[in-house]
Chains A and B, each alone.
Chain A
Amino acid sequence: METDAFGIYVHWPFCQAKCPYCDFNSHVSSRIEPADWARAYRAEIARAKDELGERRVDTVFFGGGTPSLMPADLVADVIEAIRAAWPVANDFEVTLEANPTSAEAGRFRGYREAGVSRISIGLQSLDDGHLKALGRLHSAAEGVSALWMAQSVFDRVSADLIYARQNQSLEDWRHELGQALALGLDHLSLYQLTIEDGTAFGDRFRAGGLRGLPSEDLGADLYDLTQEMTGAAELPAYEISNHARAGAECRHNLIYWRGQEYLGIGPGAHGRIRIDGQWFATETHRMPGAWLSAVERDGSGELPRTALPPEERAVEYAMMSLRLAEGTELSRLPDQSLNQGKLADLVSSGHLWERDGRIGATATGRPVLNAVLAEILA
């Protein structure tokens, strides 16, 4: 059963500097006491164990913030606590997100010893000018050398790139993506720049700044080009923005998209957990200090949780799984959760495919998935 996998997300909420496009739960702080964090993470893992009981852990993902600012000992502590609580799968996957500065590359070996098996590098661009515009603290050269360092330490390395940036032409991206594909990675996350509310870019955009963003048509052309080039390089999209050689997919992220069970630990972490057959959406205090003291004082960093009735689960599952090339298992959706008429229309218009008890978005449907979802889930 696809629902059987179990992953743990660990959130490290700190960054050296906040990137202007990022709306993740990240904070800049000079007063971080690793021992406090180790104690709090351990307490939360223990609490989850008490509540969930037996599980086999397939994946752990350290996300942020910038988890590559975590001391290796702290990472080791967390992994140890997880292993102490539950047995892990044979192919246990532990991913850590890293920024490609030289200081952080120096910690890669320590992370491997701590039990990290996969590293995801926030390369973002291979162009110094664009890196600066994105507010990144590293140069393209630093990025590439951090990547080489990572490849020499880990078997599995992924990189993130942001495209559809200001004043980026189709040819610019063809060149840059070509360079990235030549780096010999087996996993790439390629995100179109999204202007989010509550970010520095969001504010500038609203004030009429941030010129040169691509039109809808150029954005679509950029997306098409990305599919074409990654396909030719045998790194096809297995999800809207994620590309991998067969077998090299990020198994942790697949848990989200396949609607499987995951635990969220750390400030602002979300989870979807199942207790006695009932699914719950969980969320923790967003602010690092609030989370820490909630864990210490109340023995839990969690906010009041909400039960997810089957129909809501179905909507979430369809919404997430249609992002995947493998699509959605129809047997996991109650009959009334999809608009069957619209579904048939979208199959005949070539936006969706349906076969072997599954539906999925086609190459035409994927770039307009939000509209597709609004149709069939309405």
Chain B
Amino acid sequence: MTDLSRIRNFSIVAHIDHGKSTLADRLIQLTGTVAERDMKEQLLDAMDIERERGITIKANTVRIEYPAKDGRTYILNLIDTPGHVDFGYEVSRSMRAVEGSLLVVDASQGVEAQTLANVYQAIEADHEIVPVLNKVDLPAAEPDRVREQIEDVIGIEAHDAVEISAKTGQGIPDVLEAIVHRLPPPKSGDPDAPLKAMLVDSKYDQYLGVICIVRIIDGTLKKGDRIRMMKTGGTYDVDDVGIYRPAMTPVDSLGPGEIGYLNASIKQVRDTRVGDTITHERRPCAEALPGFKPSVPVVFCGLFPVDANDFEDLRDAIEKLALNDASFTYEMETSAALGFGFRCGFLGLLHLEVVRDRLEREYDIDLITTAPSVIYHVFLKDGERMDLHNPADMPDMTLVDHIEEPRIKATIMVPDDYLGDVLKLCQDRRGIQMDLTYAGTRAMVVYDLPLNEVVFDFYDRLKSVTKGYASFDYQMIGYREDYLVKMSILVNEEPVDALSMMVHRDRAEGRGRMMVEKLKELIPRHMFKIPIQAAIGGRVIARETLSAMRKDVTAKCYGGDATRKKKLLEKQKAGKKKMRQFGKVEIPQSAFISALKMDS
């Protein structure tokens, strides 16, 4: 058990690429927590996808022992939190588990939208915040301007921000001192009180089963304890408790203020809910920690195997993945066009991409992803409300009274050179401007936007119109009625359910035209001409015709070519496998994704 006054629990808040992982690496390195030879970059990010994309998906923690200049050795627990809006709830729980934050801002880039969202989470969690200006060694660094910006935009004191270069190691000792002297120790906790601990995150280890990251508030957690998860009700025997340094290191017990792991032979990550309260079965604490929320998916799409024979493999893969990702939901879906697949729910677009990537990569299954959709509230004339996850399930319009769609509050930080393009993009996506302020040469734009306009490719478009200089974050703000209709796409007179989508009536013609024009480019010519139509109900609103193939023949074919020609034919056959058959028409799988990306 560690004396509370020698414990500092903190997280690092930063925009992607501003140096959060590098700073964490330096802190670990400088304190000798990890031997020099075991150092690697992004030490705390374990998943391939995390390393590749430079993002953090799962919370991680590390205990650092730091002999401070005051002669005392402090225990510093860093929780590395996910940094993306999709994982906002997970971030908020991690924040509740610590008392302070380092706010890392790139001294050449300034404050970004993502920084804002996360720093507000930290403020909401009553954190003490130490601003850290990173990359001060760069010629483009403007620490004074950025200090001012932090004060203007975020509203926290920044004159004593620590200037560092995580890359070169400059200023890292100052950061350690700031953690010790400027961040508070954990609030008093009673080691003899009934156990009250927060489940910060959990992950699956193929040898050990589910490992939970926990923060002890009151009481003491020991090996052999029988614990109860207060929300899910599960009871388990604790096999092991320990800390991360960052390798797993068993300890006898964890006491108030401490952060560590527990291993209790829990089989599925699904049984452990982020934010749940862990207590002893025999002597439970009186009430659970506040703020627990079951995770709710907001973006949905269909996942289908390209090769229908892979369905069982896909089912296995999805089930396995879901065991380790409680925020991901799935149910079987049948599409007339795509056969058997799954309707899956995600926390956001990044989450969708990560899950899809993992299915394709770790389980080696080629997937067709259908148009991402949000949950619409469809109010029927009989007074009932249905939650529509899939445009294919849209009831007949004559039965519908009105439809509400989810809206978000989007915060975008952008250099003012690109402001016009960003405003245009937001207006084009049916946005309503809520706020527009400047901080130096950067503008902060706040828009009320329909989520369905964002789930397609808003982020890609934003990056492209601002050459990557804009940052973006959002939060759900509720539902609002609008004039929404289901638009179907017909290829060769047959509806392709996987391409149907909900659109605003005023935008339907434009979207429909764009879709049919794109599909005309994406579907190869066939031996017959193919009408491609967009329709609302029975009414066609846009139409293109893909002409019949006119020439595809080998000019020269003599005795020596027979073998080669046969191989060509086999290649052609293999190519057909990458296509999906719709009536008589073959549509390449790539068309499903490409058709949904909008160019303007």
Residues of B within 8 A of A216 (CB): 525, 549-551
Residues of B within 8 A of A268 (CB): 560
Q: How far is the CB of B520 from chain A (nearest CB, A)?
A: 14
Inter-chain contact B576/A374, CB cutoff 8 Å: yes
Q: How far is the CB of B548 from chain A (nearest CB, A)?
A: 8
Q: How far is the CA of A319 from the CA of B528 in the complex (A)?
A: 21
Spot the interface stretch: B28-36, B190-198, B479-487, B564-572: B564-572
With A270-B562, A349-B527, A374-B572 in contact, is A219–B551 under 8 Å at CB?
Answer: yes
B557 within 8 A of A: yes
Spot the interface stretch: A86-94, A142-150, A362-370: A362-370
Inter-chain contact B527/A220, CB cutoff 8 Å: no
A205 within 8 A of B: no
With A216-B551, A220-B550 in contact, is A271–B559 under 8 Å at CB?
Answer: yes
For window 343-378 of A, CB contacts with B under 8 Å fall at: 346, 349, 351, 366-375, 377-378
Residues of A within 8 A of B568 (CB): 370
Q: How far is the CB of B157 from chain A (nearest CB, A)?
A: 57
Residues of A within 8 A of B573 (CB): 374, 378
A320 is contacted by which of B547, B550, B562 (Cβ under 8 Å)?
A: B562
With A270-B563, A272-B559 in contact, is A377–B569 under 8 Å at CB?
Answer: yes
- C-beta contact mask, B511-535 vs A, less than 8 Å → 1, else 0? 0000000000000011110000000
B552 within 8 A of A: yes
B556 within 8 A of A: yes
B569 is contacted by which of A63, A220, A319 (Cβ under 8 Å)?
A: A319
B286 within 8 A of A: no
Residues of B within 8 A of A272 (CB): 559, 562
Q: How far is the CB of B125 from chain A (nearest CB, A)?
A: 56
Residues of A within 8 A of B569 (CB): 315, 319, 370, 373-374, 377
B555 within 8 A of A: yes
B553 within 8 A of A: yes
Inter-chain contact B553/A368, CB cutoff 8 Å: yes
Inter-chain contact A367/B566, CB cutoff 8 Å: no
Q: How far is the CB of B600 from chain A (nearest CB, A)?
A: 27
In the complex, residue of chain B having the shortest beta-carbon distance to the beta carbon of A263:
B559
Q: How far is the CA of A150 from the CA of B525 in the complex (A)?
A: 44
Residues of B within 8 A of A315 (CB): 566, 569
Q: How far is the CA of A378 from the CA of B581 in the complex (A)?
A: 14
Residues of A within 8 A of B207 (CB): none
B557 is contacted by which of A223, A320, A351 (Cβ under 8 Å)?
A: A320
Q: How far is the CA of A264 from the CA of B528 in the complex (A)?
A: 40
With A316-B566, A374-B572 in contact, is A223–B560 under 8 Å at CB?
Answer: no
Inter-chain contact A368/B527, CB cutoff 8 Å: yes
A227 within 8 A of B: no
For chain B, give the interface size range.
Answer: 20 to 34
Inter-chain contact A256/B563, CB cutoff 8 Å: no
Inter-chain contact A367/B551, CB cutoff 8 Å: yes
Inter-chain contact A194/B552, CB cutoff 8 Å: no
Q: How far is the CB of A306 from chain B (nearest CB, A)?
A: 9
Residues of A within 8 A of B557 (CB): 240, 256, 320, 323
With A371-B549, A374-B573 in contact, is A253–B560 under 8 Å at CB?
Answer: no
With A264-B559, A378-B573 in contact, is A367–B550 under 8 Å at CB?
Answer: yes
Inter-chain contact A256/B559, CB cutoff 8 Å: yes
Residues of A within 8 A of B549 (CB): 216, 368, 371
Q: How far is the CA of A194 from the CA of B557 in the complex (A)?
A: 12
A281 within 8 A of B: yes
A9 within 8 A of B: yes
Q: Chain B: interface secondary structure?
A: loop
A230 within 8 A of B: no
Residues of B within 8 A of A270 (CB): 559-560, 562-563
Q: How far is the CB of B578 from chain A (nearest CB, A)?
A: 14
A300 within 8 A of B: no
Q: How far is the CB of A27 from chain B (nearest CB, A)?
A: 16
Residues of B within 8 A of A269 (CB): 560
For window 267-305 of A, CB contacts with B under 8 Å fall at: 268-272, 281, 283
Q: How far is the CB of B561 from chain A (nearest CB, A)?
A: 8
Q: How far is the CA of A264 from the CA of B527 in the complex (A)?
A: 36
A319 is contacted by which of B526, B527, B559, B565 (Cβ under 8 Å)?
A: B565
B558 is contacted by which of A194, A256, A378 (Cβ under 8 Å)?
A: A256
Residues of A within 8 A of B566 (CB): 312, 315-316, 319
A191 within 8 A of B: yes
For window 98-137 of A, CB contacts with B under 8 Å fall at: none
In the complex, residue of chain B having the shortest beta-carbon distance to the beta carbon of A365:
B527
A16 within 8 A of B: no
A166 within 8 A of B: no
A370 is contacted by which of B554, B558, B559 (Cβ under 8 Å)?
A: B554
Q: How far is the CB of B529 from chain A (nearest CB, A)?
A: 11
In the complex, residue of chain A having the shortest beta-carbon distance to the beta carbon of B557:
A323
For window 202-228 of A, CB contacts with B under 8 Å fall at: 216-217, 219-220, 223
A201 within 8 A of B: no
Inter-chain contact B553/A217, CB cutoff 8 Å: no
Q: How far is the CB of B307 from chain A (nearest CB, A)?
A: 16
Residues of B within 8 A of A323 (CB): 557
Q: How far is the CA of A264 from the CA of B549 in the complex (A)?
A: 36
With A319-B565, A349-B528, A368-B549 in contact, is A264–B560 under 8 Å at CB?
Answer: yes
Residues of B within 8 A of A271 (CB): 559
In the complex, residue of chain A having the shortest beta-carbon distance to the beta carbon of B554:
A370
Inter-chain contact B551/A223, CB cutoff 8 Å: yes
Q: How far is the CA of A283 from the CA of B561 in the complex (A)?
A: 11
Q: How far is the CA of A371 from the CA of B572 in the complex (A)?
A: 9
Q: How far is the CA of A240 from the CA of B558 in the complex (A)?
A: 11
A192 within 8 A of B: yes
A262 within 8 A of B: yes
A337 within 8 A of B: no
Q: How far is the CA of A120 from the CA of B550 in the complex (A)?
A: 30
Inter-chain contact B560/A281, CB cutoff 8 Å: no
Among B547, B558, B563, B573, chain A packs the most CB atoms within 10 A around the CB of B558
- C-beta contact mask, B7-43 vs A, less than 8 Å → 1, else 0? 0000000000000000000000000000000000000
Inter-chain contact B562/A368, CB cutoff 8 Å: no
For window 308-347 of A, CB contacts with B under 8 Å fall at: 312, 315-316, 319-320, 323, 346
With A216-B550, A374-B573 in contact, is A316–B562 under 8 Å at CB?
Answer: yes
- C-beta contact mask, B339-364 vs A, less than 8 Å → 1, else 0? 00000000000000000000000000
In the complex, residue of chain B having the shortest beta-carbon distance to the beta carbon of A163:
B555
A241 within 8 A of B: yes
Among B526, B549, B552, B559, chain A packs the most CB atoms within 10 A around the CB of B559
Q: How far is the CA of A368 from the CA of B549 in the complex (A)?
A: 7
- C-beta contact mask, A223-246 vs B, less than 8 Å → 1, else 0? 100000000000000001100000
A194 is contacted by which of B547, B555, B562, B576 (Cβ under 8 Å)?
A: B555
Inter-chain contact B550/A372, CB cutoff 8 Å: no
Inter-chain contact A191/B556, CB cutoff 8 Å: yes
With A272-B562, A281-B563, A319-B565 in contact, is A368–B572 under 8 Å at CB?
Answer: no
In the complex, residue of chain B having the shortest beta-carbon distance to the beta carbon of A217:
B550
Residues of B within 8 A of A9 (CB): 559-560
Inter-chain contact B562/A319, CB cutoff 8 Å: yes
Residues of B within 8 A of A369 (CB): 552-554
Q: How far is the CA of A319 from the CA of B573 in the complex (A)?
A: 14
With A378-B573, A378-B576 in contact, is A256–B551 under 8 Å at CB?
Answer: no
Q: How far is the CA of A217 from the CA of B556 in the complex (A)?
A: 20
Q: How far is the CA of A319 from the CA of B556 in the complex (A)?
A: 13
Task: For the A-B complex with A191-B556, A371-B527 known, give 17 more contacts whose Cβ atoms are closer than 8 Å.
Answer: A63-B558, A219-B551, A240-B554, A256-B557, A270-B559, A272-B562, A312-B566, A319-B565, A320-B565, A346-B527, A349-B528, A367-B552, A368-B527, A368-B553, A371-B549, A371-B552, A374-B569
20 sampled A-B residue pairs with Cβ under 8 A: A9-B559, A9-B560, A63-B558, A220-B550, A240-B553, A240-B555, A253-B558, A268-B560, A270-B563, A312-B566, A319-B566, A319-B569, A323-B557, A351-B527, A368-B527, A369-B553, A370-B554, A370-B569, A371-B552, A374-B572
Q: Which 10 A-B pairs have the closest CB atoms?
A: A220-B550, A270-B560, A220-B551, A256-B559, A369-B553, A191-B555, A370-B552, A374-B572, A219-B551, A192-B555
